[in-house]
Structure 1
């Protein structure tokens, strides 16, 4: 049994958003065989009850909080640095001092995201880095439609990020990334033997829950999109669906309702609530309630990288999903067997309408989707692969 310090770029609780879910469940899976402590860097204030919940699960939780402006001040040196802004944004001297003082207590540092990997540089303790997504790929795509100051930041930042991601993957004892597509982007097809793909799993309670049925759709079907709604790829997807896809569906189903479900909706997303048939919920306690109301779950992503938890969660609840090719990445799902893939506004609208027309197809896709998630995307299965890779690092001679 080893003692592992998991470095987190936000408090991984409550379990809202893909980043928190992955940080929490990877740490919990490691804790099945090791003593795991968390070191958290986050904006003040944090939810103390959430900290206490984590303290009941892990050996210790060390929280460093700062006002939001301090994170932005940190990026100033990054303007002229070769390192990406994200590594500056999360870097604080007090955290470095704590690590210097306590390093000898740990057998391994587990760094979540490139945001925390800089803390492990120069330390003698071996470290594993979970890159999660290829953030460089996400930024490259975002640079094509960005506005304002981001038009100047993204083109520079994605290149710096890619160089940094490659260096991290080469210098770490081991590193993970979430999809084959993201791995290919970072490596450019080169051999990176210590960079392996580690997909996401779903919350166990989703598979413990008995999914709802499939009522015949009359005139008022419900379509649901789920995500953190101040994140640009989600903003874009929701706006794209509401303005370019939904009007076509409304031609067949005039009473169709489109629910945009998720925390922190931006002004752009809130404005979608003025569109006919569109409801923006903001934060909800249990998104499962909304997913289960969905006749079809839609994920019309045009930007982003990595694996879409929103797709996995809908599949786990046996809801039929219409998605773009991009949003299917990392999920071993077959078109028209586990979900439906459609690219382009016209095709997306047509496929969604056809599913609304067919209760049998919705039932078939939903059942197949849940079976796939049960067989491949549970944290117990993924955690076994994670622990084996970490064991390989711990067993190496120092």
Structure 2
């Protein structure tokens, strides 16, 4: 059986973000047919036992500690090279030394995003695989349009560098995957490389656990809350949409669910009828009790895990065109609104429970048909076998 070295830029568990869901998915698929060793980075050590418990079939598990202060310091290397800031942030010489010493023991190397490709981008005589996940340059192109001050400058730099680096990776790796057709076409607009779409599989809950579409008024957002596109989304909703909804429904609540809330998100918790939960052990109860799941994404790229998971729970979801990117919505599975009609769209759904239920049913059926483990497994092995 062939051996795979799997490189992750972050811990695998506990899962608190979409990138971790994606990383573990690819790792689980690889373990079905290969012997897989894992290298990952973390701000602290001691997580190997949890990985072993969750993935008992995995081979070696090697954690390299990279404190945040060191990552920030390493980012300054961008002044002396042309790599993306995030590649500089995550690059660790100790990992490079280990990989250089052991890479010849493997048949395949798999990088979980562009942040880990620098370790092997020049490697020869080994099958190199990369999961781009999203088109990061597209993400930064959108983000800089909504940014202010120093962040506008940073996003402009990262957009330019990610654009060039993504093309370099495309031409250097033999197997390349990405999450959606939209992201694929964005990257291939400047390249003729082979790039396969591999979606995110969704665990389909039993019907007894799906949303009840309660009338008492919870608008819910679920996501990792130190992720900039999520911060932008909830801040926009809390300041520009929710106050107008409360004029009609004074008891309405906006519940922001997700780990490591940024200070800007925590501040929203001081607003009237807005609740910031921080990390929760289970998100299922929030899907079940959501009147509406709001995903007002103004920036970001790729398919949003927060949306497809809510779809699996049969929730009524209101999002933006950016939030719906990568989903082939044709039968009213989502309500797609822009900044001009977001308020009216939500008000009409709050007043029509049957429509919310119908949308939730269509959304759940979409996920079962398009994002089941069987469907995504076929996409993954098409990418690997090419």
**Under a length normalisation based on structure 1, what TM-score does the superposition of the two structures give?**
0.92
For residues 246 and 66 of structure 2, what CA distance do their matches in structure 1 show?
47
Q: Secondary structure at the match of 1:62?
A: strand
For residues 46 and 167 of structure 2, what CA distance do their matches in structure 1 show?
32
For residues 6 and 86 of structure 1, what CA distance do their matches in structure 2 show?
19
Match in the other structure for 2:335: 340
- Contact 2:217/2:253, CA 8 A, preserved across alignment: yes
1:296 correspondence with 2:292: yes
For residues 15 and 357 of structure 1, what CA distance do their matches in structure 2 show?
35
Superposed, 1:90-129 pairs within 5 Å as: 90-124=90-124, 125-129=126-130
Moved over 4 A (4+): none
For residues 61 and 93 of structure 1, what CA distance do their matches in structure 2 show?
18
5+ residue gaps, structure 1, are 393-398
The C-alpha deviation readout for 1:260-301, integer Å capped at 9, x for no partner, is: 010111111111112111101111111111111101101001
The C-alpha deviation readout for 1:34-70, integer Å capped at 9, x for no partner, is: 1122110222245354233245241221111122112
The one of 343, 348, 353 aligned to 1:359: 353
1:391 correspondence with 2:385: yes
Match in the other structure for 2:86: 86
For residues 137 and 119 of structure 1, what CA distance do their matches in structure 2 show?
24
**Pairwise CA RMSD:** 1.7
Q: Secondary structure at the match of 1:332?
A: coil
For residues 300 and 174 of structure 2, what CA distance do their matches in structure 1 show?
27
- Contact 1:4/1:35, CA 8 A, preserved across alignment: yes
1:274 correspondence with 2:270: yes
Q: Secondary structure at the match of 2:250?
A: coil
For residues 43 and 213 of structure 1, what CA distance do their matches in structure 2 show?
36
For residues 215 and 140 of structure 1, what CA distance do their matches in structure 2 show?
36
Match in the other structure for 1:370: 364
Per the TM alignment, residue 189 of structure 1 is displaced from its structure 2 partner at its CA by: 5.9
For residues 112 and 353 of structure 2, what CA distance do their matches in structure 1 show?
42
Provide the aligned length of Structure 1 versus Structure 2.
385
- Contact 1:77/1:88, CA 8 A, preserved across alignment: yes
- Contact 2:4/2:110, CA 8 A, preserved across alignment: yes
Superposed, 1:306-345 pairs within 5 Å as: 306-334=302-330, 337-344=332-339
- Contact 1:46/1:65, CA 8 A, preserved across alignment: no
The C-alpha deviation readout for 1:154-207, integer Å capped at 9, x for no partner, is: 111211111110111122101111122222222226432x112212122x2x43
Superposed, 1:13-32 pairs within 5 Å as: 13-32=13-32
Q: Secondary structure at the match of 1:186?
A: helix
Match in the other structure for 1:59: 59
The one of 362, 374, 379 aligned to 1:380: 374
The C-alpha deviation readout for 1:231-281, integer Å capped at 9, x for no partner, is: 111111101111111122112211101100101111111111121111011
For residues 119 and 337 of structure 1, what CA distance do their matches in structure 2 show?
44
Q: Secondary structure at the match of 1:249?
A: helix
Q: Secondary structure at the match of 1:207?
A: coil
- Contact 1:87/1:118, CA 8 A, preserved across alignment: yes
- Contact 2:321/2:338, CA 8 A, preserved across alignment: yes
The C-alpha deviation readout for 1:305-325, integer Å capped at 9, x for no partner, is: 111000001000001101101
For residues 7 and 215 of structure 1, what CA distance do their matches in structure 2 show?
41
Q: Name the CA shift for 1:368/1:154 in 2 (closer, same or farther; >3 Å).
A: same
**Under a length normalisation based on structure 2, what TM-score does the superposition of the two structures give?**
0.95
The one of 199, 209, 212 aligned to 1:214: 212
Q: Secondary structure at the match of 1:10?
A: coil
5+ residue gaps, structure 2, are none
Superposed, 1:177-256 pairs within 5 Å as: 177-188=178-189, 190-192=191-193, 194-202=194-202, 204=203, 206-208=204-206, 210-212=208-210, 214=212, 217=215, 220-256=216-252
Q: Secondary structure at the match of 2:205?
A: helix
For residues 64 and 374 of structure 2, what CA distance do their matches in structure 1 show?
30
For residues 86 and 183 of structure 2, what CA distance do their matches in structure 1 show?
18
- Contact 2:135/2:186, CA 8 A, preserved across alignment: yes
Per the TM alignment, residue 304 of structure 1 is displaced from its structure 2 partner at its CA by: 0.9
Q: Secondary structure at the match of 1:329?
A: coil
Match in the other structure for 1:258: 254
Q: Secondary structure at the match of 2:129?
A: strand
